[in-house]
Amino acid sequence: MAINEDIENQETGDRGVRERLLVPQEKDRAGKDEGTDKGRLWMVYFTTFVAVCGSYELGTCAGYSSPTQDAIVEELSLSTAENSVVQDSLRVLALGFSHIMDGGRDSKNICLKMQTMRIASALCVAGWLAIYFAEGALALDIRRLATGYGMGVFSYVLMIVAGVSVSFIIGTVLAWRVLALIGLIPCAVLLFGLFFTPESPRWLAKTSREKEFEAALQKLRGKDADISEEAAEIQDYIETLQLLLKANILDLFQRRYLSSVIIGVGLMVVQQFGGINGVCFYTSNIFEEAGFSSSVGTITYAILQVIATAIVAALVDRAGRKPLLLISGTGLVLGCIVTALSFFLKVHDLAADAVPILAVTGILHFRLEWAQFLGS
Per-residue pLDDT of the chain (376 residues; tens, 9 = 90+): 444 444 444 455 555 544 554 444 444 444 444 444 554 678 778 888 887 888 888 788 778 878 887 888 888 887 767 766 666 554 555 555 555 555 444 434 434 567 777 877 888 888 888 888 888 877 777 767 777 666 656 666 677 788 888 888 888 888 888 988 898 888 888 888 888 888 888 888 888 888 888 888 888 888 778 888 888 888 888 888 777 767 777 777 888 888 888 888 888 787 777 788 788 888 888 898 889 988 888 899 888 888 888 887 777 777 777 788 888 888 888 999 999 999 999 999 898 889 999 999 999 999 888 877 665 4
Task: For residues 31 and 25, give the distance between their C-alpha atoms in angstroms, rounded to a whole number.
Answer: 10
Angle, helices 113-132/137-153, rounded to nearest 10 degrees: 150
Q: What angle is formed at CA 68 by the lines to CA 64 and CA 73, rounded to 5 degrees?
A: 125
Task: For residues 142 and 128, give the distance between their C-alpha atoms in angstroms, rounded to a whole number.
Answer: 9
Answer whether 152's CB lies under 8 Å from 146's CB: no
The pTM of the full predicted model, rounded to 2 decimals, is: 0.67
Whole-angstrom CA distances from 175 to 182, 269, 301, 362 are 11, 35, 20, 28
pLDDT at 356: 92
pLDDT at 196: 84
Cβ neighbour number for residue 102 with a 10 Å cutoff? 20
Maximum distance among all Cα pairs of the chain, rounded to whole angstroms = 75
Task: For residues 1 and 21, give the distance between their C-alpha atoms in angstroms, rounded to a whole number.
Answer: 30
Say how far residue 150 (Cα) sits from the centre of its chain. Answer: 10
Answer whether 90's CB lies under 8 Å from 76's CB: no
Cβ neighbour number for residue 95 with a 10 Å cutoff? 15
